[in-house]
Structure 1
């Protein structure tokens, strides 16, 4: 009789635990909370690289030569450059863009992701 009682307690406890696990996993406390979107400050430049390879600095189309000169000679220098590459560009192309930008200036270059893309 004690063996049957002990087995029943284990089975009921295990069943109860397995029934509660989905509720625990979907609770707000354990859910991943998306980080607050970063806002661009006045001292930062937004740089977009289109799928065709064109550069856009703060919304204006610029050539590579003008961009390089702007990065080297800007007064005052930007606090950071936020690079937003086209999703159609390959990771190798984006890496080459970052490398080129870092050779043009010692200003920190940050890779940004569009607001609409899902977080991993």
Structure 2
């Protein structure tokens, strides 16, 4: 894992592949390029051209990666959003598994040897 020097408090950092499609996606998600001189988001020399192989002196880069940052508040909101989505999806899967278990119990009776298995999602 690459360390980030001169982290600015209140920001979350991530090394991102310089693949143009990936960088566009990250920018739409709220990530911004980090200026290697100031350590903050800011104006850069053609940040849209970071993936075409030209050396960019203002972007913090390492090999095929560039450093991006997001305000910590936004990152926490994003984390909460994905946590809620995960919980909702897991609840749906648990409900479907319980229904499948009930269907199996009805089909094969209460005899444990007739039940083909029980689905458990933790």
Q: Normalised by the size of structure 2, how large is the TM-score? A: 0.29
Where relative contact order (Cα < 8 A, 6+ residues apart) is larger, the structure is 2
Structure with the higher fraction of residues in helix conformation: 2
Q: Normalised by the size of structure 1, how large is the TM-score? A: 0.29
Structure showing greater Rg: 1
